[in-house]
Chains A and B, each alone.
Chain A
Amino acid sequence: MNGAHGSGGVSNRRDFLLRAGVFGAASLATSAWADQLVDLALPGGPSARPLTDAFVGKDGMILQRTRPPLLETPMSVFDQGVFTPNDRFFVRWHWANIPTAVDVTSFRLAVRGHVGRPLSITLAQLLAMPRVQLAAINQCSGNSRGLFQPRVAGGQWAHGAMGNAKWVGVSLRYILDLAGVQAGATAVRFSGLDEPVVPTGPKFAKSLAIDHARDGEVMVAFLMNGEQLPLLNGFPVRLIVPGWYSTYWVKMLNDIEVLDQPDDNYWMARAYKIPDTPLANVAPGAKGFPAVPINRMIPRAWVTNPVDGARVAMQPRLSVGGIAMGGDAGVAKVDVSADHGRSWTAASLGPDEGKYSFRRFDLTAPVPGPGPLALMARCTNTAGVVQSLTPNWNPGGFMRGCIETTHVVLG
Chain B
Amino acid sequence: MTGKAKTASMAGSVLKLSTLAAVYVIGVLLARQAFQDSLTEPAALPPATQATAPLSRVTAGGVTLTSVNIDFPNDDQPYTGPGAEVMNANCTACHSANMALNQPRLSPADWKAEVDKMRGTYKATVADKDVPAILKYLNAMSARLPADGAPAPGAPSGSASSASG
Residues of A within 8 A of B (CB): 22, 24-27, 29-33, 42-46, 49, 52, 54-57, 63-70, 92, 94-107, 122-125, 127-128, 131, 140-142, 145-146, 149-156, 168, 193, 195-198, 200-202, 222-223, 228, 231, 235-236, 245, 247, 266-267, 270-273, 283-285, 294, 395-398
Question: Which 7 interchain pairs have the tightest Cβ spacing?
Answer: A396-B163, A127-B60, A151-B104, A395-B159, A142-B165, A141-B165, A54-B73
Can you sample 14 A-B contacts with CB below 8 Å? A29-B80, A44-B104, A56-B71, A65-B98, A92-B165, A100-B71, A101-B70, A103-B43, A127-B60, A149-B149, A149-B151, A195-B40, A228-B65, A272-B164
Bound together, the chains give a CA A23 to CA B163 distance in angstroms of: 26
Which residue in chain A gives the minimum CB-CB distance to B152? Answer: A284
Bound together, the chains give a CA A146 to CA B158 distance in angstroms of: 11
- The answer to whether A151 touches B102, judged by C-beta atoms less than 8 angstroms apart, is no
- The answer to whether A202 touches B122, judged by C-beta atoms less than 8 angstroms apart, is yes
Bound together, the chains give a CA A70 to CA B164 distance in angstroms of: 13
Q: Is B95 an interface residue (CB 8 A)?
A: yes
Q: How far is the CB of B7 from chain A (nearest CB, A)?
A: 13
Q: Is B106 an interface residue (CB 8 A)?
A: yes
- The answer to whether B149 touches A44, judged by C-beta atoms less than 8 angstroms apart, is yes
Which B136-164 residues have C-beta < 8 A from chain A? 141, 144-152, 154-164
Bound together, the chains give a CA A156 to CA B105 distance in angstroms of: 12
Contact of B110 among A105, A106, A153, A272 (CB under 8 A): A153
Bound together, the chains give a CA A98 to CA B156 distance in angstroms of: 35
Using A69-B72, A284-B152, A284-B156 as known contacts, say yes or no to A154 and B163 having CB atoms under 8 A apart.
yes
Interface of B is mostly: loop
Q: How far is the CB of B52 from chain A (nearest CB, A)?
A: 14
- The answer to whether A107 touches B43, judged by C-beta atoms less than 8 angstroms apart, is yes
Q: How far is the CB of B141 from chain A (nearest CB, A)?
A: 7
Which residue in chain B gives the minimum CB-CB distance to A127? Answer: B60
Residues of B within 8 A of A (CB): 1-2, 5, 33, 36-37, 40-45, 56-61, 63, 65-73, 75-77, 79-81, 93-96, 98-99, 101-106, 110, 113-114, 121-125, 141, 144-152, 154-165
Contact of B58 among A104, A142, A155, A198 (CB under 8 A): A104
Bound together, the chains give a CA A201 to CA B164 distance in angstroms of: 15
Which residue in chain A gives the minimum CB-CB distance to B70? Answer: A56
- The answer to whether B123 touches A201, judged by C-beta atoms less than 8 angstroms apart, is yes
Q: What residues on B are CB-neighbors of A201 within 8 Å?
A: 121-123
Which residue in chain A gives the minimum CB-CB distance to B143? Answer: A24
Q: How far is the CB of B65 from chain A (nearest CB, A)?
A: 5
Q: What residues on B are CB-neighbors of A97 within 8 Å?
A: 36-37, 40-41
Which residue in chain B gives the minimum CB-CB distance to A266? Answer: B121
Bound together, the chains give a CA A408 to CA B151 distance in angstroms of: 26
Using A124-B60, A198-B123 as known contacts, say yes or no to A140 and B165 having CB atoms under 8 A apart.
yes
Q: How far is the CB of A167 from chain B (nearest CB, A)?
A: 13
Bound together, the chains give a CA A351 to CA B106 distance in angstroms of: 44
- The answer to whether B103 touches A153, judged by C-beta atoms less than 8 angstroms apart, is yes
Contact of A49 among B67, B94, B102 (CB under 8 A): B102
Contact of B146 among A45, A152, A273, A395 (CB under 8 A): A45
Which residue in chain B gives the minimum CB-CB distance to A198? Answer: B123
Q: What residues on B are CB-neighbors of A32 within 8 Å?
A: 76
Q: How far is the CB of B85 from chain A (nearest CB, A)?
A: 14
Contact of A150 among B33, B124, B146, B148 (CB under 8 A): B148
Q: How far is the CB of B83 from chain A (nearest CB, A)?
A: 11
Q: How far is the CB of B124 from chain A (nearest CB, A)?
A: 6
A96-B94, A97-B36 known; 4 new pairs, CB 8 Å cut-off, are A100-B44, A151-B104, A196-B123, A231-B70
Using A42-B104, A149-B148, A223-B63 as known contacts, say yes or no to A105 and B41 having CB atoms under 8 A apart.
no
